[in-house]
Amino acid sequence: MKKQLIEFVRWSPERAQHYRNKGYWIDQPLTRILTVGVQSHPHSPAIICGERQLSYIELDRLSTNLASRLAEKGLGKGDTALVQLPNVAEFYIVFFA
């Protein structure tokens, strides 16, 4: 798979420090949300999408499965993938994958 570079403007060091001081940025990967949820309350709802609910352990299983399938197709760590989905459970499955 061909890698693409996406240009972006980083936050200024001052703004980044402000967010860290406020506790908004904790310098941990977003996947930690899922890891902590699986460890501390695996069967509690992680996502509620209309009448559908996914527990932390279900979300972890689905996202891990998708990550494996994406890796089989050649998408790896550090690669860029474009995702366009509405605000549905599948977005978060893809996000954590």
Say how many domains are in the chain.
1
Please tell me the pTM assigned to this model.
Answer: 0.77
What CATH number does the domain containing 39 carry?
3.40.50.980
Alpha carbon dihedral 9, 90, 35, 15, in 10-degree steps, equals: 20
Residues 6+ apart with CB under 8 A from 23: none
23: left (phi over 0), alpha (psi -120 to 50) or beta: left
Question: Exposed, middle or buried: residue 9 (CB in 10 Å: 0-12, 13-18, 19+)?
Answer: exposed
pLDDT per residue over 6-61, tens digit each? 677 788 999 999 999 999 998 888 889 999 999 999 999 999 999 999 999 999 99
Decide if 2 is inside a domain. Answer: no
